[in-house]
Every structure is written in C-alpha cells, then in structure tokens.
Amino acid sequence: MLFPEYRGRRLRATDNFRRMIRETKLSRDDLILPLFAVEGKSVKKPINSMPGQFQLSIDHIVTMAKQAKDAGIPGIMLFGIPHKKDCLATQAYAHDGIVQKAVSAVKEQVPDLTVITDVCLCEYTDHGHCGMVMDDGTIDNDSTLDLLAKTALSHVQAGADMVAPSDMMDGRVAEIRGTLDDEGFSHVPIMSYAVKYASAFYGPFREAAESAPKFGNRKTYQMDPANALEAIREATMDIEEGADIIMVKPALSYLDIIYRVREEIDLPVAAYNVSGEYSIIKAAEMMGWVDGKAMIMETLLSIKRAGADIIMTYSAIDVARELNN
C-alpha cells in the first residue's frame, strides 16, 4: 500500500518527539490568579458554585499570594466584597476599602508579586450594576466615569501595579488614564476588559463577588455574544484611549474572538477563563465523569493557542504546579 511522503505519526511516536515539535506551549508566565477579598480575619468562606474557591480575608489573601509566587505565577487579580454597599459605591474608592487594604498587605509581604485590581462598581453598589442608575432604571455612562477613575487611583495609591477596568462604560479607559497621569502614575499600565460579553458563564462569579444585579441585566453595556466585528471596534477604541493590554472575556466560548483580536492588534492580549468555565469542569470532575486536571490543561492550552498572552484562571496555582512537575 502506498502512502504520501508525509506521515504525521512519525513525529508523534515518542514523548520527546512530541515535545520537540509542539507548536503551543503553556507556561507559568501566562497565568494570573483571581482572588476574592472580604473583611474580617481568618475568613475562608467556600464559594458553593466554585468548588475549591473561597472568599478570603486579607490574611488568607496574603497566604494565597505567597503560594502563587512560590508556584511561579507572576501575578494575582484582586476583587473585593465590601462590608457595606450604597448607590454611589463609596467603598470602591475608599482609602480603607477592602481592595485597597488587600493590595497594601500583599505588596508589603509579597513585594515581587504583581498585583492587578479589578476596577468596577458592581460589587459595591446596592443595586449590583456596574454604573450609576438613573431614576428610570437606565445605567448612566458618563456620571460613572469619574467614580471609576477615583477607584483606579485609590488602588494605585495603595500599591497596585496594574488596574483592570471591567465595567464596559464607554470612555472609561481615557478617564482612568488621564487621572493616573495627572496624579503622577503615568507608569501604571491599564489592562482593559475591552471585549466583555454579556455571558451566561458569569453566574458563579456573581455568587463569589456578591454582585448580581438586583434588577434587569447588563446587556445594555456588555457586548452581545452574537457580535464579532464589534470586538475589534471595542479593542481599537480602548487602545486609542490608552489601554496597554486588551482582554477578552469569557475565553472558552470566544476563542474565535481571541484569535481575531490577536490578528488585528499588536498589544498583549489577555483572556479570562471565567467562573462558569471553571465550575463546569469541577462539577463534572466531582461526578467522576471527566479527568478534571487534564481537561483544564487542555482548556488553557486552547486559549493560549487562540492567541492569548495572559490567562486569568482560578486554576492557576494547580496548573503552575503541574507545569513545574
């Protein structure tokens, strides 16, 4: 029987051959670990819909930060759950807010670890939306921008190395960039959630961050999952406003979007392996249906293969340790 000159199996025959020609390689350097900070001490509250994840008081946040560094992960992303909420999200930009205190503690005890902060208002508002709510229930874009900039500035003043606005208000990157520059923080980069879809995959996160909207939904400011060309417009707009890194969120259901963004822009591209993507695998693993470790490694490899330079994932420490081995 005749075969083509090329036989693909020749270079699949041994583990060393496969390693030698592997086109995409996942690295510890690609990973960022998201963490949820809450008030109190010795608090480690399980998140029911995210097995293995917790709301953590600052002492535990520091412990996790040390574990991340020891595993070789370059950075963490901090989210905060405040002790009180109001219509103006005042705890988002308070100098003694939960994220501000967590940033200071981590930078004091793990100074070489990069600390990125999520900049949004949904965890801090009593209505759960990412912007200011008008009397008719609509989300007001422009009045939100100043509060987002104040929040970002307070994070940087506390020691954050990078800020990541996730609100999807038009013009927020420019507002934050201008504020940081005016206050002497022109060296601090912005990782923009530029391409953030209104996704069903965020459900577990909303339990973790206690940020579910009390009415309506976020479809008027987060993107329609049906749209791809719009992703390039959003990314381009944020680049023009001063973003240093462009994020696509979610990741697994939007690999085509990650690929398009990677092809169109020359800035680093981040992707968020979101809570629903994490929890689906964990739930199936707990039922004994799948090899969870192998599945998460394959998932992150697919995100990297699509073009992501940075991957936010709740599995970061486990994956880093697996890569170390």
* Beta-sheet strands, E only, within 189-293: 191-196, 245-249, 269-273
Q: Which long-range contacts (CB under 8 A, 24 or more apart) does 100-103 make?
A: 100/154, 100/155, 100/157, 100/158, 101/37, 101/58, 101/158, 102/37, 102/58, 102/61, 102/78, 103/78, 103/155, 103/158, 103/159, 103/160
Specify which residues 269 forms β-bridges with.
Answer: 246
Q: What is the DSSP letter of 243?
A: -
User: Known binder of ligand: residue 314?
Assistant: yes
User: Known binder of ligand: residue 120?
Assistant: yes
Whether 78 contacts 118, CB under 8 Å: yes
Amino acid at 202: Y
User: Known binder of ligand: residue 177?
Assistant: no
Type and span of the H or E element at 116: strand 114-119
Whether 219 contacts 227, CB under 8 Å: no
User: Known binder of ligand: residue 259?
Assistant: no
Active site residues: 196, 249
Annotated binding-site ranges for 5-aminolevulinate: 206, 218, 275, 314
Annotated binding-site ranges for Zn(2+): 120, 122, 130
Annotated binding-site ranges: 120, 122, 130, 206, 218, 234, 275, 314
